[in-house]
Structure 1
Amino acid sequence: MQIKDNLQNIKSTLPKHVTLVAVSKTKPISDILEAYNAGQRIFGENKIQEMAEKHNALPKDIEWHMIGHVQRNKVKYMASFVSLIHGVDNFKLLTEIDKQAKKYNRIINCLLQIKIASEDSKFGMHPSEASDIIQSETFSDLKNIKVTGLMGMATFTDKEEQVKKEFNLLKTTFESLKKLKTKNCELKTISMGMSGDYKLAIACGSNMVRIGSSIFGARNYGV
């Protein structure tokens, strides 16, 4: 099945309020162009330098989302163009994004990554840590970032009840933190759900899903 057909099939299952991020990590320019020509404009990458190379080579109306773990020393490579950073899991990273965004006179939108999975390999902060950050004076001093939502990754398991419990935790956290509206924080986005579990994630309140293999096929691990 073609990328175009895959996209159309997935979009036909998504409610209107749900944003589709096509996860193009490890995929060649030709695949991304095929999705672009089929109308997709939001793409997600997990390596900053790969995303920067693709940004340089592809149409400039693409919205690039950084969905992987972010190293602070690499923020500078995407600060001029990235639309949304999903995986902000500590305050030091927020301050670095703010510092780099200021150089380009931009405000970069960010999602705070909440740890909802039982796996140690998953990154993220505790809900109470996110609450403390949003209410802190040092956070209010950041003028070039805006926290627009939360992101979470469920445990990689076939146990649907466990995944549902973790998704519900993110939704509950979102509803709690949403009340803490400030100049640089207004929570609107819940980014959770991937190819294998996005329908469950939407049922649990997600309004942004990150789908790769169901659009582009299996990931190219060797790239």
Structure 2
Amino acid sequence: MSIKENLIVIKKTFSNTECLLVAVSKTKPIEDLKEAYDAGVRDFGENKVQELTDKYPQMPEDTRWHMIGHLQRNKVKYIAPFVHLIHGVDSFKLLKEINKQAKKAERTIDCLIQIHIAKEESKFGFDEKELDEMLSSEEINTLQNIKVIGLMGMATFTEKEEIIRNEFKGLKSLFDKLNTNKLPANFDLKEISMGMSGDYLIAQEEGSTMVRIGSAIFGGRS
């Protein structure tokens, strides 16, 4: 099937039509991105800074670029002028660097805090204790060029639906709990980015507002 046909099929399966589809275009040629753009996609996710900066000038101006991979602090400066949303903010040091580079670029950058919800140690993200420490620090209030608009989490890579569902439930529960507390002025939690090609339906059932889908749109990666 074509990319357009894949998108039609995926959209029909959405249980939440308000949920944003981010097309994960990593390793894919620019022709594939343009085909998805022509089929209505505006949000594209990349996990490598080099690839993101290469593709950015080749796509229409209204393309919204999402940095979805692990972001190294020394590379923030390359995407700060144009990135739409950074999904994987997994440390306070990274958040501070994003703020610093956003200030230089004279803009505010939207971010999601990545929470470690998976059983796998290889996944990045804050645990609840680290998150509480950041939220209660004086320094968080000085970051005026970032806006934390939600949370992001990646479930364990497993066939067991119950494990995945419980991890997503945990993230939604944390999101709801945070929203009952007084948060710093630069926090406005609206989005939960969870769910990929293999588990986006479960994620939507558990409250996801944003899913990151790659192979189901573009086919497998070589």
What is residue 47 of structure 2 aligned with on the other side? Answer: 46
Q: CA deviation at 1:128?
A: 2.6
Asked if the contact 2:193/2:211 (under 8 Å) is kept, the reply is yes
Structure 1 unaligned regions, length at least 5: none
What is residue 89 of structure 1 aligned with on the other side? Answer: 90
What is residue 13 of structure 1 aligned with on the other side? Answer: 13
Asked if the contact 1:134/1:185 (under 8 Å) is kept, the reply is no
Aligned mates of 1:209, 1:134 — CA distance in 2: 26
Aligned mates of 1:189, 1:157 — CA distance in 2: 24
User: Following superposition of structure 1 onto structure 2, how do residues 46-195 of structure 1 map, counting pairs within 5 Å?
Assistant: 46-179=47-180, 180-195=182-197
Q: Tell me the amino acid that sits aligned with residue 6 of structure 1.
A: N
Q: CA deviation at 1:135?
A: 2.9
Asked if the contact 2:88/2:113 (under 8 Å) is kept, the reply is yes
Deviations 1:39-88 (A, max 9, x none): 10000000011001100111111000000000000000100000000000
Aligned mates of 2:179, 2:28 — CA distance in 1: 35
What is residue 32 of structure 1 aligned with on the other side? Answer: 33
Moved more, 122-131 or 61-70: 122-131
Q: What is the TM-score with the length of structure 1 in the denominator? A: 0.96
Q: Tell me the amino acid that sits aligned with residue 185 of structure 1.
A: F
Asked if the contact 1:116/1:152 (under 8 Å) is kept, the reply is yes
Q: CA deviation at 1:137?
A: 1.4
SS in 2 for 1:111: strand
Asked if the contact 1:46/1:68 (under 8 Å) is kept, the reply is yes
Aligned mates of 1:37, 1:217 — CA distance in 2: 17
Q: CA deviation at 1:10?
A: 1.1
Q: CA deviation at 1:104?
A: 1.2
- Number of aligned residues: 220
The reply on whether 1:2 has 2:2 as its aligned counterpart is yes
SS in 1 for 2:195: coil
Q: CA deviation at 1:219?
A: 1.6
Deviations 1:1-24 (A, max 9, x none): 000011111122222220100000
Q: What is the TM-score with the length of structure 2 in the denominator? A: 0.97
What is residue 203 of structure 2 aligned with on the other side? Answer: 201
Over the matched positions of the two proteins, sequence identity in percent amounts to 60
Aligned mates of 1:187, 1:62 — CA distance in 2: 23
Aligned mates of 1:173, 1:167 — CA distance in 2: 10
Q: Tell me the amino acid that sits aligned with residue 206 of structure 1.
A: S
Deviations 1:144-202 (A, max 9, x none): 00100000000000011111111111111111112333320011100000001000011
Q: CA deviation at 1:132?
A: 2.5
Aligned mates of 2:20, 2:137 — CA distance in 1: 30
Asked if the contact 1:181/1:187 (under 8 Å) is kept, the reply is no
RMSD between aligned alpha carbons? 0.9
Aligned mates of 1:90, 1:117 — CA distance in 2: 17
What is residue 213 of structure 2 aligned with on the other side? Answer: 211
Divergent runs of 4+, >6 A: none
